Amino acid sequence: MKECRRYISKRLPGVPETWSICCQKVRNVPNSDMDCIVDLLEGRQQRLYGKRIRDLKLLCAPPLPYNNQVNNIDSLYVLYMLCCNCN
């Protein structure tokens, strides 16, 4: 997850671009099973970074086709809610 450290870090939060190396690595995890990645961390690290690591599955999902405006609006809403709740 070192490629995603900028997003995972609480000091420098950000949203990874779907084309970024971070998202490429997330999509390479079988079934994007981020719970498996979180389980590899120690207890303190799980509490600090677990939610952000799990969020990567949604944030790094392949972009939706632009011809479906309803899906795009829903995706923006999900992204907005994830960003607002990262405190």
Q: Comparing C-alpha atoms, which of 72, 66, 4, 1 is closest to residue 38?
A: 1
Is-above-0.75 flag for pTM? no
* Domain residue spans of the chain: 2-84
Q: Does the pLDDT value for residue 86 go beyond 80?
A: no
Q: Which one is predicted more confidently, 40 or 15?
A: 40
Closest CA relative to residue 2, chosen from 26, 19, 18 = 26
